[in-house]
Amino acid sequence: MTLLDKFAPLAELRGALAASGKVPSVATPMDAIHSATEGVIDGRTVLLAGTNNYLGLTFDPECRAAAIKAVDELGTGTTGSRMASGNYAGHRALEREFAEAFGWPAAIVFSTGYQANLGAISALAGQGEFLMVDADSHASIHDACRLSMATTIRFRHNDPENLARRLERLGEEAKKTLVVVESLYSVLGDRAPLTELVEVTRQHGAMIIVDEAHSFGMYGPKGVGICAELGLLDRVDFVVGTFSKSLGGVGGFCVSRHPDFELLRLGSRPYIFTASPPPPVIAAARAALSRLLRGDDLRAQLWKNIGRFNAAVTRLGYRTGSKDPGPVTALVFGERQDAIAHWQGLLDAGIYTNLMVPPATPAGLNIVRISLSAAHTDAQISRMIEAFEQLAARLRPAA
């Protein structure tokens, strides 16, 4: 027996996937990236339809210029945490800009979106307190619960009534509870019933944090998310987001309507003990945020692409993970081999998507996930639709 023996089931899964065709053993290697929508895989130019690059800002001229300028003036990294030598003027400016975008008094920038959840949630709820978490939450949320000293309770996915019952059981202790949900879930692309979840939370005197990783940039006034779209910013306590989707970079943030949130800097271990984001990353994020806030043209193009693509796959009989079209379109298959065949067929047609199979998916689902972008042209959307038409005729998708 060794410490590595427990990975045997994963090795078996890897072997099964590899035997199915060209499915990579770990992850699809990107040999080169030419633009927000084109790259090279295995020596072939492919259309990128699985990158979460929702507004296409990875190659935006303003963002690239800002990053290059920061490298020239400030170097490639800070080599220190925010609590030491890594607290640059750009970090503080970006925090002010996030807070202003939400109309809230406080914001903290983290080194990754994963860390934003890890750092905020684990510090907000501690020993003798409670975390009430949607069962289908992202891994970063579940890991934050493990890091926290709070008692973790899970409620059924997108079920306000189940949340209410669990809060009721806590009685007065509900006032020491942080409810944790996402606004748009990344695997199936389904929206949370946020208005109802917020109402239940407030009825029981708890606080709520909403992860807007996959909705920030696309929804609501100025694109700041579904909470803003639904008019909930005066009732939600904290919002978490990431740079790695709409902002086209890497990093994360948490904003709050509570001024005392600033004190979290003194109690969040992931914030205190991690090197701060490099200057070019922060500079690009600031440029991307500015572009996002004035980016109604980008959002309009994205939603045009979403409407056209989702109408096509629905017409072709594919089962999608959500009734509400959004930037994530998850095609759900009953059998793993059906999902693999579609993923492989799309790659053969020069279109890169995401293959997701158990145990990485909820409810044991087999999924091909497509991420649309404002950078996708009409011709590229037509190419995706044509590929699915050919696959539907050949493979007959599950009803």
Cβ pair 302, 327 in contact under 8 A = yes
Contact 134, 194 (CB under 8 A): no
Assign 15 a pLDDT band (cuts: 50, 70, 90). confident
354: DSSP letter: E
Which tokens hold the place of 328? 């994530």
Q: Which of 186, 201, 190 is nearest to 236 (CA)?
A: 201
High-pLDDT (> 90) share of the chain, % = 87
Q: What are the tens digits of pLDDT across the range 257-295? A: 999 999 999 999 999 999 999 999 999 999 999 999 998
Q: Where are the beta strands (DSSP E) in 197-322?
A: 207-211, 238-242, 252-256
Q: What is the mean pLDDT of the chain?
A: 94
What is the predicted pLDDT for the residue at 396? 64
11: confidence class by pLDDT, cuts 50, 70, 90: confident
Name the band, by pLDDT with cuts 50, 70 and 90, for residue 395: confident
Express each pLDDT in 103-149 by its tens digit: 999 999 999 999 999 999 999 999 999 999 999 999 999 999 999 99
Cα separation values, 134 from 199, 211, 221, 359, Å: 15, 11, 26, 18
Q: Kindly list the catalytic residues.
A: 52, 138, 182, 186, 211, 214, 245
pLDDT given for residue 399 in this prediction: 46
Domain architecture of the chain: domains with CATH: 8-48+296-395 (3.90.1150.10), 61-293 (3.40.640.10)
The DSSP symbol for 328 reads E
pLDDT at 24 over 70: no
Q: Would you place residue 397 in the very low, low, confident or very high pLDDT band (cuts 50, 70, 90)? A: low
Q: Using one digit for the tens of pLDDT, what is the confidence trace for 147-188? A: 999 999 999 999 999 999 999 999 999 999 999 999 999 999
Confidence class for position 26, pLDDT limits 50, 70, 90: low
29 prior amide bond cis, ω within 30: no
**Residue 12: per-residue pLDDT:** 84
